């Protein structure tokens, strides 16, 4: 289980996270959504142990995350901003990961590369962005992570690749009870695979709920054109109503 309580982070006077709370159940897929600059990547970097919060608690399976080797060894993290050792091929990276991660699964790695049609001997730096993302995902999934953090994993990928990636993730969740947290702009895609969503704005969690429950709740609202409403519609509704609340104009919005 992933748990964040009252997380606050300040970057030189700019409050990126402001008392944020987040909870992801084991074996679920959590969609973290928000506009640009809402704080999604900052949350994920805290969970990955890169950043240290100014205040608050970040725990995975009851253990503090920051500088915790045990937690990091159970975690896979695919960032939007990928880095591979220059000159390294996937084969070389696979060998390195095999030494770094005790649960490394070589046959799975080979299988994933075959599925992705990636050349293991070619330098990863020569891959296209989409291929690099697949490569990163293959490496991460082959470490057999218990927790997978994906920051904009499908940005810039074609629909076929997107579909494949989600299939692998869903398979892993089903087979190994892997816990996944995905941040994305692509709400349509998230709509199909997430169990739970959290909508954040300016570093604060606006709403965090089981997606089906949320849709059921919202389905009585006459504002939505479709029934049940899509995640897109819910997201816009929540964001706007929060804005209006903030401005003291909720009555006008309802009217």
Q: How far is the CB of 81 from other proteins (least distance, A)?
A: 5
Does 58 sit near other proteins (CB under 8 A)? Answer: no
Answer yes or no whether residue 28 interacts with other proteins by CB under 8 A: no
Q: By CB under 8 A, what part of segment 127-166 binds other proteins?
A: none
Exactly one of 101, 147, 166, 235 binds other proteins (CB under 8 A); which one? 101
Residue 236 touching other proteins (CB under 8 A): no
How far are the Cα atoms of 90, 141, 151, 210, 226 from residue 234, in angstroms, in the given order? 40, 31, 21, 13, 11
Identify the residue among 30, 51, 166, 239 touching other proteins (CB under 8 A). 51
- Please select the residue that binds other proteins; options are 1, 35, 50, 161, rule is CB under 8 A: 50
Is residue 75 a contact residue for other proteins (CB under 8 A)? yes
- Under the binding rule (CB under 8 A), the answer on residue 63 touching other proteins is no
Closest distance of CB 152 from other proteins, Å: 14
Quick one: which segment of 49-57, 123-131, 182-190, 219-227 binds other proteins (CB under 8 A)?
49-57
| Number of residues lying near other proteins (CB under 8 A) | 23
For residues 108 and 61, give the distance between their C-alpha atoms in angstroms, rounded to a whole number.
Answer: 25
**Beta carbon nearer to other proteins, 30 or 101:** 101
Under the binding rule (CB under 8 A), the answer on residue 85 touching other proteins is yes
Query: Is residue 79 within the footprint of other proteins (CB under 8 A)?
Result: yes
Is position 239 an interface residue for other proteins (rule: CB under 8 A)? no
Binding flag, residue 169, other proteins (CB under 8 A): no
């Amino acid at each position: 289980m992933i748990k964040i309580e009252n997380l606050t982070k300040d970057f030189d006077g700019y409050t990126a996270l402001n008392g944020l709370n987040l909870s992801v159940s084991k074996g679920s897929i959590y969609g973290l959504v928000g506009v640009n600059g809402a704080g999604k990547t900052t949350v994920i970097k805290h969970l990955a142990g890169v950043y240290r919060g100014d205040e608050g608690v970040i725990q995975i399976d009851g253990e503090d995350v920051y500088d915790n080797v045990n937690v990091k060894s159970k975690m896979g993290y695919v960032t939007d901003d990928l880095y591979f050792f220059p000159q390294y091929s996937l084969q070389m990276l696979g060998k390195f990961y095999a030494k770094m991660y005790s649960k490394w699964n070589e046959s799975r790695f080979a299988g994933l590369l075959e599925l992705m049609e990636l050349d293991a001997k070619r330098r990863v730096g020569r891959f296209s962005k989409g291929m690099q993302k697949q490569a990163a995902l293959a490496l991460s999934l082959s470490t057999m992570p218990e927790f997978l953090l994906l920051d904009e994993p499908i940005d810039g990928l074609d629909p076929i690749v997107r579909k494949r990636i989600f299939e692998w993730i869903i398979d892993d969740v089903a087979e190994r009870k892997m816990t996944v947290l995905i941040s994305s702009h692509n709400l349509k895609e998230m709509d199909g695979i997430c169990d739970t969503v959290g909508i954040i704005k300016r570093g604060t969690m606006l709403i965090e709920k089981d997606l089906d429950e949320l849709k059921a709740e919202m389905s009585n609202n006459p504002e939505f054109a479709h029934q049940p409403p899509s995640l897109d519609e819910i997201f816009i509704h929540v964001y706007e109503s929060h804005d209006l609340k903030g401005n003291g104009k909720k009555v006008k919005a309802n009217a």
